[in-house]
């Protein structure tokens, strides 16, 4: 067998050298290969050029505070440098008439462990009550439904330094130290020690760990590719805010946890569950507490509230209705086998249940805002029928249990869904 391989390789080399198999034809990728690579990159949210990959997240968005938000941004690619990258953007909000931007970059410290040291300076907005994991990195979707209706933002000017480190392909970590100046865009102040804080400074250190024990990888040309996307997956993050360090105003800590599990029933049907947990302890302002990812606007009728459903958001929960300093959510989705009506028409039914519970200490410290807490448990259930037309579908969700509202139609959310895969 070894001799056969040696002979084959020798014959191939001779044919190439003598011109019977043109070398350019061997190396030149086909147009279909180029197209598939381009589509994959666009699906990941990038439009590649020679040395710069434009990030499609910054092209155009809309929310209730900025109105339309548009700009350009991206990151340098390997043709620019394999050991250094620039990651920056600039955008403009047409309703608040304000520029936002990021200036950032990274240095490769160790190729084997994919260790990157990153620095950044950001002047932008952040949704109040949102909580992100460092190891999630960037996320991209062609359409972000929740963003359309968000109204509660805070301005932040943040200088940060972070370290990415891969212990192995199944266990990655990221550590960050960030200094922020924060100013809510709404009428809010945090009352502490006889002082009203309408704006404040924070110095926060974060450690985030992503563990995917059942994912199987393969390394090809020094690039790690997932060959089996195994579940469950776990993410843990600890944050600590230090008072008086670099003029910071508050002492508090946060612990965030998330696990995602998927059960495959057959090739076309599966169930996926997402459990999230957040705990904040100490003097944390509303900007750094938790909402439960609501996605319902306060309008009179069902049709006036008609918008686009999110992925793990609570569709019947109104924006700014609940906040917590400790909470847990569980979202379970069962994807039924698609209805194969025709070659190009295969709608899919998804059954959904969501549950949230939470509470808050020292509510009186949060001035000029009113909200409820989730100590009695919030429940909603419903269904989606996806891929009805050009990736669009319909969603119906019903709110019941402890937070069922007196007027029946206020418990109902009817929305579009949007799913597209490149």
164, 196 contact by CB (below 8 A): no
All structural domains of the chain with their residue ranges: 1-31, 111-418
Alpha-carbon distance of 254 to 242, in angstroms, equals: 12
pLDDT of res. 279: 97
Residue with tokens 């990157």: 116
Domain 111-418 classified CATH 2.40.160? yes
| Residue 105 β-bridge partners | 86, 119
pLDDT digits over 271-303, tens only?
999 999 999 999 999 999 999 899 998 888 888
Q: What angle do CA 239, 245, 248 make, to 5 degrees?
A: 75
pLDDT band at 5 (very low <50, low <70, confident <90, very high): very low
Average pLDDT over residues 241-254: 94
DSSP 311: S
pLDDT band at 12 (very low <50, low <70, confident <90, very high): very low
Average pLDDT over residues 216-236: 83
Tell me which of 227 and 251 has the higher pLDDT.
251
Q: What percent of the chain has pLDDT over 70?
A: 86
Average pLDDT over residues 321-339: 96
DSSP 27: H
pLDDT at 24 over 50: no
Q: What is the pTM of this model?
A: 0.86
pLDDT of res. 136: 87
Alpha-carbon distance of 283 to 244, in angstroms, equals: 13
296, 304 contact by CB (below 8 A): no
Alpha-carbon distance of 352 to 313, in angstroms, equals: 11
pLDDT at 80 over 60: yes
DSSP secondary structure string, 122-149?
EEEEEETT----GGG-----S--TGGGG
């Amino acid at each position: 067998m070894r001799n056969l391989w040696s002979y084959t390789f020798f014959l191939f080399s001779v044919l190439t050298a003598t011109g019977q198999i043109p070398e350019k034809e061997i190396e030149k990728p086909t147009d279909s290969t180029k197209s598939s690579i381009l589509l994959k990159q666009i699906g990941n949210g990038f439009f590649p050029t020679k040395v710069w990959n434009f990030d499609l997240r910054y092209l155009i968005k809309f929310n209730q505070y900025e109105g339309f938000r548009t700009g350009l941004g991206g990151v340098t690619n390997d043709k620019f440098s394999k050991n250094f990258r620039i990651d920056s953007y600039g955008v403009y909000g047409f309703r608040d008439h304000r520029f936002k931007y990021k200036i950032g970059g990274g240095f490769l410290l160790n190729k084997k462990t994919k260790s990157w040291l990153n620095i950044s300076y950001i002047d932008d907005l952040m949704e109040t009550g949102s909580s992100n994991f460092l190891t999630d990195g960037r996320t991209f979707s062609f359409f972000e439904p929740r963003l359309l209706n968000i109204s509660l933002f805070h301005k932040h000017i943040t200088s940060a330094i972070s370290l990415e480190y891969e212990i192995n392909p199944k266990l990655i970590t990221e550590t960050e130290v960030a200094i922020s100046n924060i100013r809510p865009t709404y009428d809010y102040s945090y009352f502490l020690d006889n002082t009203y804080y309408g704006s404040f400074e924070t110095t926060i250190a974060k450690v985030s760990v992503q563990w995917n024990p059942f994912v199987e990888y393969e390394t090809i040309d020094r690039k790690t590719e997932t060959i089996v996307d195994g579940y469950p997956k776990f993410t843990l993050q600890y944050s600590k805010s230090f008072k008086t360090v670099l003029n910071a105003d508050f002492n508090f800590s946060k612990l965030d946890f998330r696990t995602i599990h998927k059960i495959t029933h057959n090739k076309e049907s599966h169930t996926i569950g997402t459990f999230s947990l957040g705990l904040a302890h100490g003097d944390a302002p509303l900007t750094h507490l938790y909402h439960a990812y609501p996605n319902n606007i306060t309008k009179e009728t069902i049709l006036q509230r008609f918008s686009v459903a999110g992925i793990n958001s609570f569709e019947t929960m109104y924006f700014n209705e609940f906040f917590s300093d400790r909470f847990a959510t569980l979202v379970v989705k069962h994807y039924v086998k698609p209805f194969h009506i025709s070659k190009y028409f295969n709608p899919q039914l998804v059954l959904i249940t969501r549950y949230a519970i939470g509470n808050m200490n020292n509510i009186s410290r949060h001035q000029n805002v009113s909200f409820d807490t989730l100590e009695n448990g919030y429940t909603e259930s419903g269904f989606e029928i996806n891929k009805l037309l050009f990736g669009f579908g319909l969603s119906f969700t019903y709110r019941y249990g402890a937070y069922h509202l007196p007027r029946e139609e206020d418990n109902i959310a009817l929305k579009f869904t949007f799913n597209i895969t490149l």
